[in-house]
Amino acid sequence: MKKLFITALAAIAIGTSAFASPASISSKVSEHFTASFSKAKNVSWNSSERFDKVSFMLNNEKVFAFYDTDGELIGTSKTMAFDKLPKSALENITSKYLYPEYQLKDCIEFTTAFNEKNYYVSMDRKNESVVLEITKGGAVSVFARNRK
């Protein structure tokens, strides 16, 4: 499960997944999605060998849902405002990853199928991208580091 979660998050951070039509998505995923997100609008399906990704609008927010190959929900993600992160995380990040050397790219809230929340912040600088993982309690760790 952890590998699938990490794979899903890596896809979010890097933005890689292949397009798939709703017909290529399993009926279990489709049924679970419809039951869980009945008010979803502008639904778009994507698929890879490891997971299915559904992007949609819900309550005027862009949301992504991730399902494993067995059709079980891995979790959901949505963009959030950087200043809504836990205060201790904001202090840590803004003192360690100084602007303008580091440019904020994305700030994402990821909620697992078990309703556990973590936050992911991606930042770019001249020769690398860094993705930070922030716990609900505000602990910050490097989730991924990629050279450009």
Edge-to-edge strands of the sheet including 73-79? 18-19, 41-47, 51-58, 61-68, 73-79, 103-112, 117-125, 128-135, 140-147
Q: Is the pTM of this model over 0.85?
A: no
Across the chain, which distance is largest between two alpha carbons, in Å? Answer: 48
Q: Which tens digit of pLDDT belongs to each residue from 95-133?
A: 999 999 999 999 999 999 999 999 999 999 999 999 999
Q: Which tens digit of pLDDT belongs to each residue from 4-29?
A: 444 445 444 444 333 344 556 778 88
The pair of three-digit structure tokens given for residue 75, joined into one six-digit string = 């979790």
Q: What angle do CA 32, 78, 124 make, to 5 degrees?
A: 135
